[in-house]
Amino acid sequence: MNKHSYLRAYMAGIAVPTPVLLVVMTAYTVFRLIYHFPVPIERFIVFPMAVVPNAWGLWNVLFVAWRRHVPLSLGLHGVLLPILLAPLGLVASGLLNFSIPGFATHAFPVLAPVVLIVYYLVWKYVVGFLNRVLGLA
């Protein structure tokens, strides 16, 4: 099963964030339309819905392509992704005039390590499992 290994790696990468974003968007829609939640993120939601799954897929392709040359575990490779996505999200929010709530800046010192730990675990166990199932490991 050596055919199309990069395509399989891409699909293993996008298989994780896509259903998560679907659940998040469903919850947001319920809160926004039923409970009149006052945060209008419709302008900004395009970034995570379009960029994040593709970034995960391409990041997994890079891991498969570089694993022989760069001896980095899949979990540590996954931790580097939010370090790239966070500045992109800040730039996108600035370009779209989407103000980041004040509590987010106060929560950043606590949430940043939690996000890195979650990314490490998801990449190590979930994406790693999908890579093994698809014969990429």
Q: Is 92 exposed, middle or buried (0-12, 13-18, 19+ CB in 10 A)?
A: middle
pLDDT digits (tens, 9 = 90+) for 32-48: 888 887 776 766 677 77
Query: What pTM, to 2 d.p., does this model score?
Result: 0.85
Q: Count structural domains, the chain.
A: 1
Q: For residue 35, give the DSSP letter.
A: S
Handedness of CA 92, 90, 33, 54 (dihedral sign): positive
pLDDT digits (tens, 9 = 90+) for 49-69: 888 999 999 999 999 999 889
Q: Which domain covers residue 35, as residue numbers?
A: 5-133
